[in-house]
A and B are shown apart, each in its own frame.
Chain A
C-alpha cells in the first residue's frame, strides 16, 4: 500500500506525533459511538460475508452430493439455500454499509461538536494559537479520519474475527485438521499481512518525508516565482531539483514497498496452504471412512471463500495508523485548551445540547437536575425571553446568580486597570512588560509603536484572551483572571485584525457582536464607519450573503465591517486592533480619529502603528523594545520624544511622496 494514503499537509504532522497508548481509545470515546451500533454493523457484515462462505460450502456439498445421484428431494434444500446465500450477501452488505456509515457519521458529528465545545469553553489562548488552516484541518479532515476508523478498520476487523472464528469452528467440527489449518492460515493473512503492510506505509512515509518537503518547496517555488525564474533562465535548474527530490521519494517508497508486496503474496499463500492441508489430510480420512466424501469437497473448497474478510485488513491497518495520528493531533489541541488536564465527560455537553433542543417541558425537568453552573449557562444560552419562563416555573430555585444569567446579558460599566502588567504567550518570554494603563468610559487611549513591538499581545491580554504574565489586571473590583468570559465580555471586548467574517448575511455578521441588532441600528453603524455607499450598492442590502471568509469583500471593506461589528458590542470598553489597516491614509486617519474622540458612554483603546491621527486620544502609549517608552498627549510626545517625532515625520514624508508618485 505504501503511500496510497498520502500524508496530511506537513503543517499538521508534528514530527514527533506522540504514539502514546490509549490515544485512539480516548478519541473514539469522544465520538460517543455506541458499542451496540458497532456490534450491529459487525453482525450485518458477518452475515454478508458469511453468506459468501456458506455459498461456497453449500454449493460444494450440493455438487459432491449430486454426483452420488440421490433423489432430487435430497438436493432441494441445499439448492434453495445456495440461491438464498447468493441473494443474501448483496442485501446484507448493503445494510451493513448503511449502518456502519451512519454510525461513523454520527460519531464524526459528536466528535466535531465536542471539539468545538471544548475549544469554546477552554482557554482562549489555545484557539488563538492555532492557525486557521490547522484549526479547520483538525475539526474537518482529522475528525473525519477518526470517524473512518469505524467504517474502515473497526468493523472490517470485527467481521474478520467473528467470521474467522465461526468458519474455523464449523470446519473443525467437520474435520479437525482442516479447521486448525484454516485458523493458522487466517491468522497469517489477517494479522501478519496487515502488520507488514502497515510497516511498509510507515517506513515509506518516514523515509520520504524529507524528500517530500523538498519536492513541495521546489514545486511551490516554481509556480510562485514562475515569471522571474523563466526570465532568469532558472527553470531548467529548478526542474532538475524537482526531479532529484522526486527520485528520492521514489527510492524511499521503493525501498519500503517490499513488506507490502510480501503481504499481498502471503495472503494467497495462506489460502493455498489451507486448501492443500485440507486436501492432504482429508483424502486419507475419506479412504479410512472417517470423513464423508461429500464433506471432503466442503472442507477443501470452503477456504477459497473464507479469506475474503482478511483481504481488506491491510487497508484497515493503514487506516488505523492514520486515525491514530489524526486522533493525536485532535487531542493535542484539546489538551492545550484544557491545561488542568481534567477531561470532562463528553456527556456533559451532549446533555446540554439535548436540553437546548428539547421541548420546554422536558427542558424544565432536565435543567433542574444540573449544577448551578450549568443551569446558569443554559439560561444564558436560551436568551432572556425563554429563560424567564423557567425562572418563574417551579423546577428551579431562582437564585440571584440564575436571575442574572437569565436576564439580558447587559453591559456592566467597570474600569479596566493594568498595573505593571506583563503580556505574552504562554511558554514564551513576555513581549511587553511594566505596562500601567487605565481605561474607563469617557476616556480614549492609543497604543502606538513599530510593528512587532507587542501591541497586539497587549490588546489580547487586556481583553482577557491571553493570561496575565505578571503584574495586575483588574476589571472593577476583580482580577480579570478570576472572572468568567461571559462576565468579562459584558464590560470589555476586543476586535482583532484577523477577525472572521462569516459566510452569512451582512446583518448576521453584525449580530455576532450582539444578537438583537436591528436593521436601522446596523445601517447607522455601517454609515458611521464609511460603509454607507457600499451597503447601498449591495444587491440585497443588509441581507446580502457574504462569501465564506468574505472573499467578495475587499480588504478595506472588511476592516470597516469588523469595526462596525465591534462598535455594536454591548460592552462599554472597546479594544480595537489596527483599525486603519488596508485603508488609504486619509480614511485610516478619519476612522482612528473618530474612534479616539471621547464619548461619555464608551471607553476605547486603539492599537495602531499610524501616529498622525492620535491627536484625539486622551493618552498615547508609545511602546518600544517591550516597554512603554513614553506616554502622554500626542502633542507633548511630538515635542518631547525624539523617536515618536521621527516616526511621525517619516509617515508624513512617505505620504507626500506616494501622493506625488501616484499622480
Chain B
C-alpha cells in the first residue's frame, strides 16, 4: 500500500477532516519546533558566550539572566502551546479513527449485503464478517499513530531542513544526503530479503498451524490416552517456530537498524562538522546550537514513520481487503417498475447456472402464475435453492433469463419484461420468501406480524399451528423475540413466518423446504397454508422433498443438473492460459 491510500479518504469521509486537522497541527508543530530551537539556541548561545567573555575578561556582560528573560518566557509559551497542540491532535485522532472505522464498516457491510448471498458464501465472502467486526479496528493505530507522523514527515522535515539551510548550508547538505538514503537503503534491504522472508513466513505459518492442530486435537488424543507424546511435539514445533521466526526477524530488523543508523549518524556528523566549523570561527555559537537542536527534528518524523508503520500494517492490510470488497461492482439493477404480480406471471426460460460441478440447474423452464402452486423437486445438489435465488433476482443466470409478463401480454412469442431491467425493489415488495432458516427481525411477535386484527390473527395462527406455540410463550403475543427469533426453534420460527405470509398474502410466495423441520402435524399445517395462499390468489413456489407437499402442487418441475463436460472445462482453461 502507498503511504497514504487516496481510497481511504474516498471511502472514509471522517478521515478527510482529520487529515486536514493533522496537516494543520503538523504545520503548527513544525513552526513551534523551529521556534523552540531558535529560542533555545539563542538563550544558550548568549549565556555561554557572555560567560566565556567574562572568563576571558574581554567584555563583561552584567546580567545574563535578565537579558534572556523575555526569550525564556517565549520559550515556555512555545513549549506549552506545543503540548496543547499535541493534546488536541491526539484528542481528535481517536474520534476520527473511530468514525473512519465505523464509516468503512457500514459501507462494507452494506456493500457485502448488496453483493448478495452467493458472493458472501464464496471467495472472500466468509471472511467479511471478521473483517468488518474486528479487522478494521486495526486501522486505529494507523490513524492515531502513523498518519500524524507521516504528515510531520511531510511538514516538519522539509521546514526544519529549510531553516537549517538558512543557518548553515553545509549541515543542510549533510542532512540532505542522509535523508534520501533512508528510503533507498530500506528498499534495498527489503528487496534483498524479500524472497527469504516470504519463504520463512510460509514456514512459520505452517508450524503455527501444526501446533494449533495438535492443540485442537487434544480432546481426541485424550480419549485414546495418547496425549503424552504430542507434548514433546508441541515443544519441538514451538522451538522450530521460534528459530524460523528469529531468522526472519534478523532480516526484518535490519531495515530498522539502517534507519536508526542513518538518522543517528546523520545527527552525529552534523554535530561534529558544525563543532569544528565553530572552532575554526566559521560560524557563531547561536547558529551552531540551533542547527544542533534542529538536526534530530529533521530525522525524527522519518524514524517514527518507520516504527509506526510496522505497528499499523495489520490495519493497512484490513483496509486493503476492505477496498477490494468495496471495489467489487454491484450487480446492476434495472429501473422499470415491476408490473402487478397479482395478474402478471414470472417465467424462467432455459435457465442455467454455472457452478463448480457443472450446470446447476441446467435448461430449466418454469412459470409462476397467480393462484397456482408450483413445486420444484429433484435430488439435492441439482440447484433447487439456486433456482429460488434466480427467481428472486438475487442471482443472474449464466444462461436463459427471467421474464415478467403482464396480464395483457400473455402472448408466448413475446419476451415480456426482463427481470434484469426491472427495479428489483418494486419486485421484492410483492414477494414473501420463507428460506429454509426463516429470518425474523427482532421485536414482539405482534409487531412481527404487523399488528394484525386479533380475529384474523387467531384464524391464521390456528391454521399454521402458531397458536399452540404462543400458548407456551411467557408474554403470549407480546413476547420479545431476538434476532432470528432467538428463543424459538426453527420449526416454531417457520410457523411464525407462515402466519405472517398468510396474514398479508404477497402476490408471489416462495417456500424453501417448508416442512424440513416439522413433524407430521406441522406438515399438514404447511399443506393448509399453501392451500389458503392459493385461494387468496398468490402464486406459490415450493421447494419440496416430501411426497405430500408435491401432491398439492398444480405444476411439478423437476430440476436437473448437468455435470461439466470436457470441452466446457477446457474452454475457460484455454482462456486463462491466453490471458496469462
Contacts and interface: CB of A to CB of B under 8 A. Distances in A.
Which range holds the interface residue count of chain B?
A: 35 or more
Nearest to B274: A63
A174 interface: no
Interface stretch (B149-157, B278-286, B465-473, B528-536): B278-286
A504 B86 CA distance: 54
Contacts of B519: 650
Interface string A339-363: 0000000000100010011000000
Contact of A68 (B52, B250, B545): B52
Contact of B278 (A66, A124, A377): A66
Contacts of A89: 260-261, 264
Interface stretch (B158-166, B238-246, B455-463, B570-578): B238-246
A224 B120 CA distance: 8
Interface residues of A, number: 156
Contacts of A429: none
A215 B441 contact: no
B322 interface: no
Contacts of A356: 232
Contacts of B431: 231
B238 A127 contact: no
A16 B253 CA distance: 39
Interface stretch (B97-105, B187-195, B342-350): B97-105
Interface stretch (A96-104, A364-372, A416-424, A435-443): A96-104
A86 B296 CA distance: 11
A215 B101 CA distance: 12
Interface in A238-264: 238-239, 242-243, 246-247, 249-250, 253-254, 257-258, 260-262, 264
A610 B261 CA distance: 72
Contacts of B17: none
B476 interface: no
A128 B484 CA distance: 29
A340 B240 CA distance: 34
Contacts of A108: 238, 242
B480 interface: no
B264 A549 contact: no
Nearest to A135: B215
B144 interface: yes
A296 interface: yes
B406 to A, nearest CB: 22
A661 B252 CA distance: 61
B222 interface: yes
Contacts of B64: 283, 286-287
B79 A268 contact: yes
Contacts of B239: 106, 109
A490 B241 CA distance: 34
B133 A493 contact: no
Contacts of A119: 218
A69 B98 contact: no
A225 B113 CA distance: 8
A97 B256 contact: yes
B90 A261 contact: yes
B110 A6 contact: no
Interface in A436-476: 463, 465
B221 interface: yes
B231 A223 contact: no
B72 A280 contact: yes
Interface in B215-250: 215-232, 234-236, 238-239, 241-242, 245-246, 249-250
A165 interface: no
Given A86-B267, A219-B133, A662-B545, A293 B220 contact: no
B109 A94 contact: no
Nearest to A272: B79
B110 A2 contact: no
A1 B220 CA distance: 42
B429 interface: yes
A117 B222 CA distance: 11
A1 B377 CA distance: 58
A349 to B, nearest CB: 7
Contact of B221 (A247, A257, A512): A512
B481 to A, nearest CB: 13
Contacts of A237: 441
Given A109-B235, A242-B109, A296-B48, A512 B253 contact: no
Given A3-B137, A120-B231, A272-B76, A93 B257 contact: yes
B144 A4 contact: yes
A127 B249 contact: no
Contacts of B95: 250, 253-254, 257
B210 interface: yes
Interface stretch (A54-62, A536-544, A629-637): A54-62
A191 to B, nearest CB: 18
Contact of A60 (B84, B257, B292, B520): B292
Contacts of B232: 353, 356-357, 381
Contacts of A109: 235, 238-239, 241-242
A287 B268 CA distance: 30
A279 interface: yes
A85 interface: yes
Given A67-B48, A226-B117, A261 B87 contact: yes
Interface stretch (A481-489, A521-529, A600-608, A619-627): A481-489
Interface string A258-302: 101110111011011001100110011011000001101100110
Nearest to B45: A67
A139 B379 CA distance: 43
Contacts of A261: 87-88, 90-91, 94
Interface string A29-45: 00000000000000000
B200 to A, nearest CB: 14
B264 A51 contact: yes
B403 interface: no
A227 B435 contact: yes
Contact of B87 (A63, A91, A264): A264
A56 B224 CA distance: 65
Given A60-B292, A219-B133, A275-B79, A135 B218 contact: yes
A105 B242 contact: yes
B216 A247 contact: no
B276 interface: yes
B132 interface: yes
A586 interface: no
Contact of A227 (B138, B208, B389): B389
Most buried by A among B209, B438, B546: B546
Contacts of B40: 275, 279, 300-301
Given A98-B249, A349-B231, A658-B545, A222 B109 contact: yes
B138 A113 contact: no
B38 interface: no
A220 B241 CA distance: 34
B209 A94 contact: no
Contact of A293 (B48, B226, B250, B267): B48
Given A86-B268, A135-B215, A219-B133, A353 B231 contact: yes
Most buried by B among A4, A112, A356: A4
A657 interface: yes
B192 to A, nearest CB: 16
A192 interface: no
Given A59-B267, A223-B120, 4 more contacts: A60-B292, A66-B288, A268-B83, A293-B51
CB-CB nearest 9 A-B residue pairs: A86-B268, A489-B225, A109-B238, A272-B79, A265-B87, A59-B271, A90-B261, A661-B545, A90-B260
28 contacts: A59-B275, A63-B275, A68-B52, A75-B279, A82-B268, A89-B264, A90-B261, A98-B250, A101-B245, A109-B238, A112-B234, A113-B231, A216-B133, A218-B483, A227-B117, A230-B116, A231-B392, A231-B394, A233-B425, A265-B90, A266-B83, A272-B80, A279-B40, A300-B44, A463-B223, A499-B223, A500-B216, A653-B520
